[in-house]
Amino acid sequence: MKTAFCLATILASASAFAPASKPAFSTQIAAEDFLEAEPYYDQSTVPVNVWKNKAPFTGKIVSTKRIVGPQATGETCHIIIDHDGDFPYWEGQSWGVIPPGTREKDGKPHSVRLYSIASSRYGDDKTGKTGSLCVRRATYWCPELKAEDPAKKGICSNFLCDTQPGDEVTMTGPAGKVMLMPEEDPKTDLIMVATGTGIAPYRGFIRRLFAEDTPAAEAYKGQAWLFLGVANSDALLYDDEFQAAKKAFPENFRLDYALSREQTNVKGGKMYIQDKVEEYADEVFEKLENGAHIYFCGLKGMMPGIQDMLKGVAEKKDIDYDEWLKKLKKAKQWHVEVY
């Protein structure tokens, strides 16, 4: 049966995930069903831009925690924000954050920065009153100074990574419908491709399907396949959670990492995300042909390599890549959110 799930628990033990057989839920555990549409897969009521720039929402920080090891290529934090149930969202949406202060050049308030939400609609604590962000601190290394230049650091990412419990965060949204899961057919396969903090929406997907007592979890019979590309093992994000899901649901959840500084591709070069996906190209193409949805989230620089790889594979299969891609987009099987 599925058991209670929270970040602290899953980091300590894989037992927070249910066994793969998915028997009846325990009556001793409160179900995550109070934020569902009717029926649960109906997307006509997805909230969009409830809170706007001129009338934003004020959330409060619950916790800010570094979630990468000492050898990671940067600092990434998991930030939990309390919205007291007044800022509903769905998995795959983004929150806007307006950093405090004003711009030096004109004295106007800073503009909104969008961050993919890294939790399910029920939050890490399952109350439906919190949400999480996965944020990498943006810094700039000055070759002349041979040091970080604070004048060029990311305003919003540094604000968020420096927050303390109780701090207020000015927010807008939720934004977007591009990355929503198609839940009407529970047999739909999901192929999730991420670089770095692009993992955020997929963490929400995985929690909803494998770690919570939701109608979507009860119904899901497809396979969710996650590809994550980072520099090294210390830079992996939410690995303990994903390994636990893989152990509990080996038929329904697959996991593949591309570690560019630790692994090599078939040509002997660095293993980037497109190289790892290419290893399974035949299976990926077959799944897409059978109706799977594929998602891409992360730095926009990931897409040229991904698309070049897919185009090369298509040519080997005598498939017209442009027509193939057009078909996927028309069927709404192709989802991209890059920044």
Residue 305: CATH number of its domain: 3.40.50.80
Q: Which range (10-24, 49-63, 78-92, 212-226) has the least confidence? A: 10-24
**Domain-embedded: residue 267:** yes
Q: Please report whether residue 146 resides in a domain.
A: yes
Q: How confident is the model at residue 105 (pLDDT cuts 50, 70, 90)?
A: confident
Question: Do the domain assignments include residue 52?
Answer: no
Catalytic residues: 115-116, 297, 337, 339
Same domain, 202 and 140: no
Same domain, 171 and 198: no
Phi, psi of 18, rounded to the nearest 5 degrees: -75, 155
Report pLDDT digits (tens) over 24-76.
Answer: 333 334 688 999 999 999 999 999 999 999 999 999 999 999 999 999 999 99
Q: Rounded to the nearest 10 degrees, how much is the dihedral formed by the CA atoms of 183, 1, 211, 276?
A: -80
Q: Does 227 lie in the same domain as 167? A: no
**Which residues are annotated as part of the binding site for NADP(+)?**
116, 136, 197, 260-261, 270, 298-299, 337
- Same domain? For 102 and 159 the reply is yes
DSSP 32: S
Q: Does 237 reside within a domain? A: yes
The pLDDT of residue 12 is above 50: no
Q: Are 174 and 93 in contact (CB under 8 A)?
A: yes
pLDDT for 138: 87
* Residue that terminates a domain, selected from 130, 148, 175: 175
Q: Quick one: 168 and 199 in the same domain? A: no
The continuous run of DSSP H or E covering 61 comes out as strand 57-66
Binding residue positions: 116, 136, 197, 260-261, 270, 298-299, 337
Looking at the fold, whether 327 and 206 belong to one and the same domain comes out as yes
Task: Judge contact between 5 and 120, C-beta under 8 A.
Answer: no
Residue 226 lies in a domain: yes
> Are residues 214 and 310 both part of a single domain?
yes
Note whether residue 28 is domain-resident. Answer: no
Residues 165, 240 share a domain: no
Q: What is the pLDDT of residues 145-172, one digit of tens each?
A: 666 666 667 899 999 999 999 999 999 9
Give a yes or no: residue 256 inside a domain: yes
For residue 293, the enclosing domain spans 190-338
Question: Which domain-ending residue is among 145, 175, 205?
Answer: 175
Q: Do 229 and 315 belong together in one domain? A: yes
Same-domain pairing of 241 and 311 = yes
Q: For the chain, how many structural domains are there in total?
A: 2
Same domain for 195 and 167: no
Q: Is residue 49 part of a domain?
A: no
Burial of residue 229, with CB atoms counted within 10 A of its CB: 0-12 exposed, 13-18 middle, 19 or more buried: buried
* CB-CB contact of 227 with 258 (8 Å): yes
Last residue of a domain, one of 149, 175, 201: 175
> Could you give the CA distance from residue 176 to residue 174 in angstroms, rounded to a whole number?
7
Taking all residues of the chain, what is their mean pLDDT, rounded to a whole number?
90
The model's pTM is 0.89
CA–CA dist 4, 185 (Å, integer): 26
